[in-house]
Homo-oligomer: A and B are copies of this chain.
Amino acid sequence: MTIYDIAKEAGVSASTVSRVVNNKSGVHPSTKAKIEKLLKKYHYSPNETARGLIKQNNHMIGVLVADIRNVHYTDGAYTVEKAFAKLGYCCIIFNTGSETKEKTEYIQVLSQRRVEGAVMIGSTFQTKDVEEAIIQYMPNTPIVIVNGYLELPNVYGVLADERTGVSSLVNLLFSKGHRHLAFINNCYTPSNLLKIKGFEEEVKKLGVEQPTVVYDTDTTLEGAYQVTKQLMEEHPEVDGIIYSVDLLASGGGRALLDMGYAVPEQVAYTGIDNSIYAEFSTPKITSLDNKLLELSMMAARFLVDLLGGGKVTKKVMVFSSIVERETT
């Protein structure tokens, strides 16, 4: 059902129908009524594709996320979608995975779709390859990165201060008498690298001579469980652990319990993200709230402002805070 079909049946021209559809003034009430009746009768809805072609806008924004199943990415995607839906935009969401190649491919896809703006969720998008893809394919599309930034005229960043956040976690553990700290990491995203940097710097600053211990694992409960066991066997002196994300802390915490450690007296540990995992686990996990939710809300607002032609800060940082629970 097109505007022409309606026009023919109403005995008017397409332009008149268009005027009615768009609520423009200057249509005779009687013709207007006649047309509206037909519109309703056929449940006419304008073809946004055609509209977009002539209006040079499609009210679509792209959302890139490594994997929406990660809780904080889920929240981010939700926040962004909700914010834009309210404004009549729709979000096309892609799970890029962690591979560089896929990320750049999806950037290309977004450019073909001519999205008006994009949000990339996660520091994993703060890479050279993404930067180049943006330069090539979307040099003029406003892009906001959640917890990341690229030095490009059309890219904006809202960041968490995870480096100092982790420093404060170290301080917390230290203040409770824990001196032999370890860090368990899941992957080397820019965000996690900052966390490790914050960890190592603060440990050094506090004057602990012992070399810092950093272990790797994949992002699973089981992986965290195993690597924690391994850590405690190889470094029995460790009495405080910072996990790069809550999920690891949950899995690792179980290992500590199974090994018979008293938590938090003998070994204390923390997660990062202050996600539902921290709240759900037993014992409930002390976690660094890096405000990822606020970050996404801010990102959405930034992009909305940019699309509205407003000026926006290129780069902001949101301060994190510790939520203490039962593991410290």
Contact = CB atoms under 8 A, between A and B. Distances in A.
Contacts of A43: 136-137
A82 interface: yes
A52 interface: yes
B108 A45 contact: yes
Interface centre among A92, A108, A250, A279 (most CB of B within 10 A): A92
A110 B135 CA distance: 31
A114 interface: yes
A192 interface: no
A280 B281 CA distance: 6
A33 interface: no
Contacts of A50: 53
Interface stretch (A22-30, A68-76, A159-167): A68-76
B81 A74 contact: no
Interface in A61-99: 67-69, 74-75, 77-78, 81-82, 85, 90-95
Provide the main secondary structure of the chain A interface: helix
A47 interface: yes
A149 to B, nearest CB: 23
A111 B45 contact: yes
Given A74-B74, A114-B49, A250-B280, A93 B81 contact: yes
Interface in A260-311: 277, 279-282
A129 interface: no
A98 to B, nearest CB: 14
Nearest to A58: B49
A285 to B, nearest CB: 11
A14 interface: no
A69 B58 contact: no
A323 to B, nearest CB: 15
Given A47-B112, A277-B280, A85 B90 contact: no
25 contacts: A43-B136, A45-B111, A45-B112, A46-B112, A47-B112, A47-B114, A48-B112, A49-B53, A49-B58, A49-B113, A68-B77, A68-B78, A69-B78, A77-B93, A78-B95, A81-B94, A81-B95, A90-B92, A90-B94, A90-B109, A90-B113, A91-B93, A92-B93, A221-B279, A277-B280
Given A43-B137, A45-B112, 8 more contacts: A47-B112, A50-B53, A67-B78, A82-B95, A85-B95, A90-B92, A221-B280, A281-B282
